[in-house]
Amino acid sequence: MIKLSAEFLKGIIKQNPIFVLALGLCPVLAVSTSVSNALGMGAAATFVLVGSNGIISLIKNVVPDKIRIPCFIIVIATFVTIAELVMKAYSPALNRALGIYVPLIVVNCIVLGRAEAFASRRPLLDSLADGLGMGAGFTLGLMLISSIREISGSGKLLGYALLPGFQPALMMALPPGALLVIGVMLGFFNLLKGRKE
C-alpha cells in the first residue's frame, strides 16, 4: 500500500509531468487560457493515462518488443476516442473549447512516456497508481497555470469576474503569456529542487 501511494504521490510534485519532466507542454500551452478548459483537459488526460497504463501493463508480456510503440498508440487512441465521444455527448461546449487538443491527447508525450517508461515494465496496480498520479500532477499543474493566466489575462476565475475596474493584461491570455508563465514556473521548480539538494 505504501509503495502504491508513493507511485501516486511522485507524479504530483517530485516528478510533476509539466514542471519537472516537461512533458505534454503542447496542450498545456494551448488550453491553459481558462481554468474550466484546464479541468476538462486534465480529466480527459488522467482518464487516458490510467486506462492506457492499465491495459499496457497487462499486455506487456504478449507484445513483441519491435512493434510495441504502435501497439501502445492503438491502446492510447482507443481511450482517447472514448474520452472524446463521452465529452461530445455530455459536454459539447467543453469539447468545442478544447477543439483539436482532445484527439491530440493520443500523441501527448506524458501518455506515451509513461507507457514506455513505466507501464511496459511494471505490474498492474503500480501502473494504475502511476497513471493516476501523473494525471493528477498534470491536472494540478494545468490548473495552476490556467488560474494565473485567467486571472491576469481576463480578470476572471472560472468565468466569474473578480475585481471591478481591473484592466487585465491581454497578453497573458495570448500564447506569449502561456510561454512566460510556464517558463517562470519551470524556473521556480528548478530553484526549489536546487535548494533541496
- Cell numbers for 34: 481558462
| x/- letters, 110..149, toward another protein (CB under 8 A) | ----------------------------------------
CA distance linking residue 88 with residue 93, whole number of Å: 8
Smallest distance, Å, CB 167 to another protein?
Answer: 7
Q: For another protein, give the closer residue by CB, 129 or 172.
A: 172
Are the CB atoms for 18 and 25 separated by under 8 Å? yes
Q: Which phi and psi angles does 161 have, rounded to 5°?
A: -65, 140
Taking CA atoms, 115 is separated from 14, 59, 76, 175, in Å, by: 19, 11, 9, 29
| x/- letters, 151..190, toward another protein (CB under 8 A) | ----------------xxxxxx-x-x---x---x--x---
Beta bridge mates, 160: 157
DSSP string, 105-117: GGG-HHHHHHHHH
Smallest distance, Å, CB 169 to another protein?
Answer: 4
Q: For another protein, give the closer residue by CB, 94 or 181.
A: 181
Smallest distance, Å, CB 194 to another protein?
Answer: 13
Q: What residues make contact with another protein under the rule CB under 8 A?
A: 167-172, 174, 176, 180, 184, 187
